[in-house]
Chains A and B, each alone.
Chain A
Amino acid sequence: MKKDHLKSYLMISPAILGICLFVVYPMISLIGISFTNYDLVRGSGKFVKLANYEKLFSQPAFGEILSNTLIYTFYYVVLTMSLALFFAFLVQRSNWFDRFVQGVTFLPHITAMVSVSLVWMWLMDPFAGFLNYILEEWFHVKGLQWLQSSSTAMMSVIIINVWKSVGYYTLIILSALKTIPADIYEAADLDHSTKLRTFFKITIPMISPTLFFLLVVMTISSFNVFDSIKVLTGGGPVRSTMVLVYYIYEYAFIHMRLGYAAAAGTVQLIIVSFITFIYFKLLQKRIYYK
């Protein structure tokens, strides 16, 4: 028995080594650096205890950045999840039209964020953009400033990111929907169930493991939003789209203050872990596993 154990560990040791090297070590090192004033220019730093954290929490901007991140995450997750569910429901049959739509909704996912951003920047241009053209010519509403106003920039970024990822999540939900046997729906029909009741009482519970997984993945990915912000707004105007990862990026690679950035990164790590933990606590009992 013991020999077998040893053999098993030996077999998975390359994977464990990889995880230690590329996941565990960087994380520990991140936390370690957050207690130093490590500077990329000097290439060295010394232990400063909690100074970075003290500075981080004393900055008024940091609260704003946290709230930006949470707002982004909230709207992104809610919108992407509900739209993906909605689309998956609309196109779940396997006729040519539905398959075509399934393919098309997936396209934004395989397009580079930078290209997508450029197209949307044109669409959202306050003067020559297509969206304002529609608003003004078709609906006779005053056009918006979109990415160029601090009041609409966050909304615009959310719209673009939801648009880009909704097709991908639609496909995942679709594959979960297809695992529900048809006779369960027929039984529900015979049980006088309305479409809406069938959806909430049968469909949603049956795909709940997938939905839960997507919720966790979406939350984590929205906490890490960076590329679209970098291209679209650079965190502006007036910090209105400044999210945590972008803030970390600025401090690490523009101001070269690695210690300070690492402290912000550690805070992000803690927040994401905490939210995931809450998800598990609140929802796990309501998830149906086969």
Chain B
Amino acid sequence: MGKIVFERVVKQFDKTTIIRGLNLAIADGSFTVVVGPSGCGKTTLLRMVAGISAVTSGKIYIDDVDVTNIEASERGVAMVFQNYALYPTMTVRQNIEFGLKNIKVPKEERDRLIAEISKIIGLSALLDRRPSSLSGGQRQRVALARAMVKKPKVFLMDEPLSNLDAKLRVQMRTELIELHERLRTTFIYVTHDQVEAMSMADTIVLMNNGQIIQTASPEDLYHEPAHIFAASFIGTPPMNILRCEGCEFAVGFRAEHIHMREAPEDAALRFDARIITREMLGSETNYKIHIPYGDVMAKNPDASFHPGDRLSISIPQNNVYLFQATGERIPFDKEKVRNFLGAAEKKACQEESTGLEKKRDEA
């Protein structure tokens, strides 16, 4: 078991509010990834579940038990820290063993558990080494083993892959998914990397400014973003958003939905365009395209366009998203889109997708 419920949780540091009245339920056995830009409160959220950071107000339940005021060690959770937080003076074996010794697990039982875990994680050969003599990936494994050996109800992971190189990160991603398949315990995983979130989660909790923007499966979050922030945070490149000063609405569409040759029958948007840059990535090519409303990103298997080419691009109706100026998604409406385009043209609308992309990269 490992069901977690947050009830109107507020966290303040001095006078700054980090988490603003957060409600969230995390299902038992789920792989939940909390994702958001730096400073959005995602790590704080995780630390509050662990019990190493106090809640200012509100309640946290684990398996229907109110743990708000329960000691970290009594909550049945284990955590993998961003910098691993291994005990540098201890060997790998002692690192894994420390938690067991503290709860007075007998020696034979400890040896059995360590042997079992180190076989699963692939540490058997390293048990007598010190953390300082291990590579980043190996340290990561020790941190995982140390958490696993306690058989926790909930695994908390705070950006565990951020210190690994790109190749190892991809490999560890698959291993974590396998591990979750095997253990079937609740995983709560915090990251700022939307690719990690999309690839591993069964549920994504998207946060910004101490609030939850959307909780959904990766598919839903990608295809049905509830908010302009979700649309522009998730996806590589993020969704193109057209908006203008004083306009009531914003219009969004994803790069891969831009038709660059013949227009589909149900095209809702159509623009005269010019290719600005071209990035050939292999199976597909990213283009930065200039349209009268600004610049947008397009993604297409067709690599035959080149900077300077003039063309007409179009987007089918069911790939066009409509948002209120405040950010909330609203149902598609032909009339509203037409009004938006008219108003935008008049006001020499500024396209902001590149600006948003920059913002996300910074995050």
Contact = CB atoms under 8 A, between A and B. Distances in A.
Contacts, number: 68
Interface string A174-201: 0000000101101111111110010001
A194 B102 contact: yes
B102 A290 contact: no
Interface residues of B, number: 25
Contacts of A184: 85-88
B85 A186 contact: yes
A272 to B, nearest CB: 29
B206 interface: no
Contacts of B89: 202, 205-206, 208, 288
A104 B85 CA distance: 34
Interface string B52-85: 1000000000000000000111000111011101
Contact of A189 (B73, B83, B88): B73
A192 B85 contact: no
A199 B228 CA distance: 49
A205 B98 CA distance: 14
A197 B102 contact: yes
Contact of A192 (B81, B86, B87, B99): B99
Contacts of A193: 73, 98-99, 102
A286 to B, nearest CB: 10
B52 A190 contact: yes
Contacts of B87: 184, 187-188, 201-202
Nearest to A207: B89
Chain A contact residues, majority secondary structure: helix
Contacts of A290: 88, 132
Nearest to A203: B89
Contacts of A186: 50, 52, 72, 79, 81, 85
Interface residues of A, number: 20
A290 B89 CA distance: 9
A133 B90 CA distance: 51
A190 B98 contact: no
Nearest to B74: A192
B85 A187 contact: yes
A215 B100 CA distance: 33
Contact of A201 (B52, B71, B72, B98): B98
Residue from B52, B71, B150 having most chain A Cβ neighbours under 10 A: B52
Given A181-B85, A184-B85, A206-B89, A190 B78 contact: yes
Nearest to A194: B102
Contacts of A288: 88-89
Contacts of B98: 188, 191, 193, 201
B125 interface: no
Contacts of B281: none
Contacts of A181: 83, 85
B166 interface: no
Contacts of B77: 190
B67 to A, nearest CB: 13
A290 B99 CA distance: 23
B330 to A, nearest CB: 43
Contacts of A190: 50-52, 72-73, 77-79, 99
Interface of B: 50-52, 71-73, 77-79, 81-83, 85-90, 98-99, 102-103, 132, 146, 150
Can you list the 10 inter-chain pairs with the closest CB atoms, starting with the nearest? A191-B99, A205-B89, A183-B85, A192-B102, A187-B85, A288-B89, A192-B73, A186-B52, A183-B81, A189-B72
Interface of A: 181, 183-184, 186-194, 197, 201-202, 205-206, 208, 288, 290
Given A183-B85, A187-B79, 18 more contacts: A181-B83, A183-B83, A186-B72, A186-B79, A186-B85, A187-B81, A187-B85, A189-B51, A189-B72, A190-B50, A190-B51, A190-B77, A191-B98, A192-B73, A193-B102, A205-B89, A206-B88, A206-B89
